[in-house]
Amino acid sequence: MSTLPKEPTVAIAEDPFIRRYVRVLLTKHGFQTVEKDTPVARKLMESGELRPDVLITNDPGSFAGFAAVLPVLYIAAAPDPAVVARFRSSRTLRKPFEAAQLLKAVSELAADTPVEAAGPPV
């Protein structure tokens, strides 16, 4: 029996307005999404309850423990690429951004994710 490919899961750890906008946009384009405040998302990821394929955040430093395994999209008014340099795969977007820019960055990061989603650091 063959199984259908899993749609990428994107964790969105951002301010509430941005989370809702990004969730609606990504869901409309076939991504599974999970919205959480940064501390909650980090705690769920550390416990293994949340295993996203891609993380979208304005605070990548809070997820540094996952840098070796988790692709991250860093969105900020003035993103510093050095902040995400330690992540195995990353993109930055400057706010405000266009929907097409977000979709392109998330698609590229999701394509760079191994079959097994990122789990807690070992």
pLDDT value of residue 113? 67
Residue among 59, 49, 67 nearest 9 (CA): 49
First to last CA, the chain: 32
pLDDT value of residue 8? 87
Residue 13's SS3 state is: strand
Is 80 exceeded by the pLDDT of residue 114? Answer: no
122: pLDDT confidence band, cut at 50, 70 and 90? very low
Average pLDDT over residues 71-95: 94
Is 90 exceeded by the pLDDT of residue 118? Answer: no
28: pLDDT confidence band, cut at 50, 70 and 90? very high
pLDDT value of residue 5? 53
Q: How many of the other CB atoms lie within 10 Å of CB of 33? A: 21
Please name each of the domains of the chain with its CATH number.
Answer: 9-111 (3.40.50.2300)
Burial category of 83 from C-beta neighbours within 10 Å (exposed 0-12, middle 13-18, buried 19 and up): middle
Average pLDDT over residues 71-85: 95
Q: Please, what is the average pLDDT of the chain?
A: 89
